[in-house]
A and B are shown apart, each in its own frame.
Chain A
């Protein structure tokens, strides 16, 4: 196996602690809610990693799906003290956002596809048969990751179109 499971768990835990701190300390409450959504998905990944699959599914469906939307509507319906100022993001913010999403994607891929790196980096080049066998054994997970990536892509495109 290419990676140590303890290291993966440590990286997930460190990332979760950072995101939790950001959820508490963000000045704008919508950003705080966004970090809370990332936090719930990370907790779901940890549940998945520990073998509690049903809890992971319920965690992501209930928290990242329902509770975050509920809190978002409550934020929209109540008045805040300061006005929201939407500005264009700087290069530093884009780099930070890209690194955060990259780390998030790598952690998700490592948790969801545990056999994939071990075959790819075993010393010999994987043949087409190996790749087909990996794709068929992990078909559900690959479809899940693909749906997640497509959803994030379309959501970002619609957010950009709506912001103009």
Chain B
């Protein structure tokens, strides 16, 4: 019982650190790294909850593949923003705010 609670608390701490990084950073690549940390915490939590079921393993495999695709698309968006605007700091990208 201690191990279950501890593992869930651990994944929660990892998720909170990732959320803090996503909220506190203004560099788009750092924000992407924080998103990846949060996805890893979610995968950990899913595996912790279903240790005996192999069904959750396939779900986590699909989630890992989707996270890789998300990183590729996010970084291509970052490159496009950099080529058009010359910066990837979100504080300096204000054309959408009206």
Binding site for B on A (CB under 8 A): 6, 9-10, 13, 16-17, 20-21, 23-24, 29, 32-33, 36, 39-40, 43, 46-47, 50-52, 54-55, 58-59, 62-63, 66-67, 70-71, 73-75, 77-79, 81
Contacts and interface: CB of A to CB of B under 8 A. Distances in A.
Given A47-B47, A50-B47, A75 B21 contact: no
Main secondary structure of the interface of A (DSSP, over half): helix
> Chain B's interface: helix, strand, loop or mixed, by majority?
helix
Contact of A24 (B34, B48, B71): B34
B68 A20 contact: no
A75 B30 CA distance: 10
A34 to B, nearest CB: 11
B93 interface: no
Contact of B72 (A50, A58, A70): A70
Nearest to A10: B6
A58 B64 contact: yes
Contact of A78 (B2, B3, B51, B78): B78
